[in-house]
Amino acid sequence: MEEGEESRCENCIVRQFNYLRAMSKAELKKVSDSKVTKKVKKGESLFEEGDKLDGVFCVRDGVSKLSKLSANGKDQIVKLASKGEVIGQRSVIAEESTNLSAVAVSDMEVCFIPKDSIVHTLNQNPNFAVEVLRHMAHDLKEADDVIVNMSQKTVKQRIAEAFLYLKSNYGEDEKGFLNLALSREDIANVVGTATESAIRIISEFKKKGMIKTSGKKIGVVDEKLLQDLIEGF
């Protein structure tokens, strides 16, 4: 009996958004045959900092935070990865243990792809290698931007940016609340501040009518006010 259509990488829509589209039919078939689909519950981890990865994870659904523990015991979230993104390639390519932990911030469905097929294709298909390279170049640019934000913007500005980022990347529901509801602690860890500071600033934004909250849900009310704050007014 053949596997269902949608569970084959060849037919996976998610692939449209990542570098796996640069694989040939045959290569993709190999990937599909070796991949394992798993469900990961919110709060569970895909891997921990320091793990040696035997493959990469392709996100079919849900969102994962990629974070690194600092010496003082706080987690710094370096990136959020969602549908269509591939996690773990840096480690697999550099043949090093991961520098980041990956934890689901919403229920996820991911495909684990053993590294053999990735590495093999990298060495055989220059097209694929260049595509992965482009992707990593993009990640690097984003990381540079984060560095500049971290050091040159205030916590308030970074939190305001985070909300606009969440809105434009994950959208909002019918009631105008962000689809991706991060905890206050996660928000603090994204912008690199203390949880209490993040909470205080969120309260302030709410008072000023920039955002609204309902439990842990947060909605952007006045995008322009947030934008002005980011630009320094």
Partner DNA sequence: TCGAAAAGATGACAATTATCATATATATAT
Partner DNA sequence: ATATATATATGATAATTGTCATCTTTTCGA
Binding-site ranges for DNA (CB under 7 A): 72, 154-156, 183-185, 192-197, 199-200, 202-203, 213, 215-216
Report if residue 96 touches its own copies, rule: CB under 8 A: yes
52 binds its own copies (CB under 8 A): no
Q: Is 132 in the site for its own copies (CB under 8 A)?
A: yes
**Which of 65, 56, 114 lies closest to 86 in space, CA to CA?**
56
Q: According to the binding rule CB under 8 A, does residue 231 interact with its own copies? A: yes
8 Å CB contact between 92 and 121: no
Q: How many CA atoms lie within 13 A of 188 on its CB side?
A: 15
Q: How far is CA 108 from CA 62, 147, 157, 175, in A?
A: 4, 28, 30, 24
Partner that binds at residue 37, options its own copies, DNA, none, CB closer than 5 to 8 Å by kind = none
Tell me the closest approach of the beta carbon of residue 8 to DNA, in angstroms: 34
141 three-state secondary structure = helix
Contact region for its own copies (CB under 8 A) — 17-25, 55-63, 71-79, 104-112?
A: 71-79
For residues 7 and 123, the answer to whether their CB atoms sit within 8 Å is no
Closer of 4 and 232 to DNA (Cβ): 232
Asked if 122 is part of the footprint of its own copies (rule: CB under 8 A), the reply reads yes
Q: By CB under 8 A, is residue 144 in contact with its own copies?
A: yes
Cα(152)–Cα(173) distance, rounded to whole angstroms? 32
With CB under 8 A as the contact rule, which of the stretches 2-10, 19-27, 54-62, 121-129 interacts with its own copies? 121-129
Using the 8-state DSSP alphabet, how is residue 178 labeled?
A: B
